[in-house]
């Protein structure tokens, strides 16, 4: 009952808003916000229902069936919460917009589509929802009907999504041909007893490929940073909710990876490349929204990488945390841009004076001691956090990699403190270590509890971790290589800061050419553009020569 109500409430809201909201902003927002709040309450009730009665599938017909389980209820709650926040924010942000009612109606329709996707009980309905997300995103991003610019990147987004939907369709076809059912619950059961085969490996690869397009993974990441022309609430919804769909899809098809490895390895490598590329490109941006866009690309890379390591539940936790964090940033960016419009100069406040105008004090702490703290303290914290939840660290490569990343992040933060050269360095250092401990312990403990909630069967989780493992020799070489890159990077930065020069003269040419290639995003957008132009040129010539035929 609540399942039906939850999935229908936003659709009903969209219709009522469109029919009765026109001509009055107040009426529009009251209807839409009211329904959005109801949806949020219903999703909480649904979670309680799941906790009390366990998973089940509600079948209305061959196509229309909804699934209630740990993943669907969690995702429904996340989607409803983010949707409500975006609705509440848009209430004032979109004021005086000529398409106010259309915007809210589309926002409701998008919420409905995402809810249908996460609650889908069969593969066809899941595919319908998955595809509709891309279609509705097109209309939300190109909300400003008078602007030709807004439509350009909305079209790019649509095309990447349409392309990315195809692997999911292939996976659905293969699953149906192999198991003869579209029902997700039945399929999950059957997949647990299936032998490892070429077909299942292929299905795994297809699922992660589809996740790559929705979650803006390299080389399909180009749509995300360019879609900043749309209204800020849409950016918030997109970065906090829609891009996370990749992580959801991999989790929804988790039983496929019970007997498939290739997809996991692919997810790891593509996620890693995307995380590095996204973070690098983020640092190169001068536009706050574009920088946030690349930051999302980097975060999504990290989330997909977590899936590739077998840490499926952690990826869901990551997407929730990132969603809340990024929605806040986007909604805040509107205010920053508004302030910047009033005064285009950088405000010369205390933050500006601290970073730009001050002279670095001499550090009393010897650098050897500081480097020891940098390397050892985060490692100890990360190890303790993992041991607290009883993770057998040396058994799973996935846990080791996550530990490695946690360690590097912590070390990087402490290293930044050293470079910052604060006056009261011990106090700052202590604060940073304390904050880092809270974050790591929180991340590991909540992530672990989340795993117990989403995947109560520990043998299932262990099997996925095992499947994510690669040849130990190759794994060790990878870790050594990554460590070497990170440590060399630190030496490079240290050397540069000691010499008061960002790049040594002999590396300047290399640095500049790397900067140039990266600032053009490795020419991927140019490549796609050229390809599109070639196809359209063919169409133009064919239509001219065969005009009537």
Site for other proteins, rule CB under 8 A? 61-63, 98-99, 124, 127-128, 131-132, 135, 138-139, 142, 145-148, 150-151, 154-155, 158-159, 162-163, 166, 169-170, 173, 176, 535-536, 538-540, 542-543, 546, 548-549
Task: Give the CA-trace dihedral at 512, 514, 518, 520, to 10 degrees.
Answer: 60
Please identify, using beta-carbon distances, which residue of 150 and 215 lies nearer to other proteins: 150
Q: What is residue 241's three-state secondary structure?
A: coil
| φ and ψ of 175, to 5 deg | -65, -40
Please list the alpha-helical segments (H only) found in 421-498: 425-454, 458-468, 472-498
First to last CA, the chain: 55
Beta bridge partners of 56: 68
CB within 8 Å of 318: residues ≥ 6 apart = 247, 299, 302, 303, 306
Q: At closest approach, how far in Å is the CB of 98 from other proteins?
A: 7
Please identify, using beta-carbon distances, which residue of 369 and 546 lies nearer to other proteins: 546
Please identify, using beta-carbon distances, which residue of 173 and 284 lies nearer to other proteins: 173
Q: At closest approach, how far in Å is the CB of 64 from other proteins?
A: 8
For helices 100-119 and 25-53, give the axis angle rounded to 10 degrees: 10
Please identify, using beta-carbon distances, which residue of 170 and 269 lies nearer to other proteins: 170
Q: At closest approach, how far in Å is the CB of 89 from other proteins?
A: 24
What is the Cα–Cα distance from 10 to 41, expressed in whole angstroms?
Answer: 13
Please list the alpha-helical segments (H only) found in 94-231: 100-119, 123-141, 148-179, 184-192, 198-214, 223-226
Please identify, using beta-carbon distances, which residue of 138 and 494 lies nearer to other proteins: 138
Q: What is residue 66's three-state secondary structure?
A: strand
Please identify, using beta-carbon distances, which residue of 12 and 151 lies nearer to other proteins: 151
DSSP class of 429:
H
> Largest Cα–Cα distance in the chain?
83
Please identify, using beta-carbon distances, which residue of 152 and 463 lies nearer to other proteins: 152
Tokens encoding 467: 């499947």
Buried (b) or exposed (e) across 5-22, using 16+ Cβ within 10 A?
Answer: ebbebbbebbebbbeebe
Please identify, using beta-carbon distances, which residue of 103 and 407 lies nearer to other proteins: 103
Instruction: Say how far residue 360 (Cα) sits from the centre of its chain.
Output: 37
Tokens encoding 433: 């270590």
Q: At closest approach, how far in Å is the CB of 189 from other proteins?
A: 20
CB within 8 Å of 68: residues ≥ 6 apart = 3, 46, 49, 50, 55, 56, 57, 58, 119
Q: At closest approach, how far in Å is the CB of 62 from other proteins?
A: 4
Please identify, using beta-carbon distances, which residue of 56 and 176 lies nearer to other proteins: 176
Q: At closest approach, how far in Å is the CB of 480 from other proteins?
A: 41
């Amino acid at each position: 009952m609540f399942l039906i109500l939850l999935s229908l409430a936003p659709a009903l809201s969209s219709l009522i808003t469109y029919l009765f909201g026109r001509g009055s902003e107040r009426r529009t927002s009251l209807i839409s916000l009211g329904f959005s709040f109801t949806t949020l309450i219903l999703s909480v009730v649904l979670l309680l229902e799941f906790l009390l009665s366990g998973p089940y599938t509600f079948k209305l017909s061959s196509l229309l069936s909804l699934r209630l389980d740990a993943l669907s209820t969690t995702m429904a709650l996340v989607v409803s919460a983010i949707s409500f926040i975006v609705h509440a924010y848009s209430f004032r942000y979109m004021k005086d917009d000529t398409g106010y009612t259309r915007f809210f109606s589309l926002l409701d329709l998008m919420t409905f589509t995402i809810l249908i996707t996460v609650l889908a009980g069969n593969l066809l309905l899941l595919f319908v929802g998955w595809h509709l997300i891309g279609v509705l995103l097109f209309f939300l991003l190109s909300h400003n009907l008078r602007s030709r610019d807004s439509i350009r990147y909305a079209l790019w987004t649509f095309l990447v999504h349409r392309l990315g939907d195809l692997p999911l369709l292939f996976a659905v076809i293969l699953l149906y041909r192999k198991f003869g059912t579209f029902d997700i619950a039945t399929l999950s059961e059957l997949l647990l007893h299936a032998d490892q085969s070429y077909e299942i490996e292929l299905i795994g690869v297809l699922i992660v490929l589809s996740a790559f397009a929705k979650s803006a993974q390299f080389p399909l990441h180009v749509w995300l940073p360019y879609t900043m022309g749309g209204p800020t609430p849409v950016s918030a919804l997109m970065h906090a909710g829609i891009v996370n769909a990749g992580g959801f899809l991999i989790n929804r098809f988790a039983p496929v990876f019970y007997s498939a490895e290739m997809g996991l390895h692919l997810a790891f490598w593509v996620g890693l490349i995307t995380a590095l590329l996204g973070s690098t490109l983020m640092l190169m941006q001068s536009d706050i929204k574009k920088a946030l866009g690349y930051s999302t690309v980097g975060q999504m890379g990290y989330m997909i990488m977590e899936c590739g390591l077998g840490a499926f539940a952690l990826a869901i936790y990551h997407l929730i945390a990132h969603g809340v964090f990024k929605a806040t940033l986007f909604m805040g960016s509107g205010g920053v841009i508004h302030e910047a419009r009033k005064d285009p100069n950088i405000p010369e406040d205390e933050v500006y004076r601290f970073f730009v105008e001050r002279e670095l004090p001499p550090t009393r702490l010897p650098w050897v001691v500081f480097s020891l703290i940098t390397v050892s303290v985060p490692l100890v914290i990360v190890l303790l956090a993992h041991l607290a939840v009883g993770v057998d660290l040396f058994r799973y490569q996935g846990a080791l990699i996550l530990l490695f990343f946690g360690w590097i992040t912590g070390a990087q933060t402490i290293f930044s403190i050293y470079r910052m050269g604060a006056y009261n360095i011990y106090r700052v250092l202590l604060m940073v270590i304390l904050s880092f401990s809270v974050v790591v312990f929180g991340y590991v403990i909540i992530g672990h509890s989340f795993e117990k909630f989403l995947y109560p069967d520990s043998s299932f989780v262990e099997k996925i971790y095992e499947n994510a493992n690669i040849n130990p020799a190759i794994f060790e070489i990878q870790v050594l290589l990554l460590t070497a890159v990170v440590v060399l990077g630190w030496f490079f930065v240290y050397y540069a800061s000691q010499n008061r020069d960002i790049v040594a003269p002999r590396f300047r040419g290399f640095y500049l050419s790397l900067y140039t290639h990266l600032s053009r995003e490795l020419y991927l957008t140019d490549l796609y553009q050229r390809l599109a132009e070639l196809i359209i040129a063919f169409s133009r010539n064919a239509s001219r020569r065969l005009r009537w035929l």
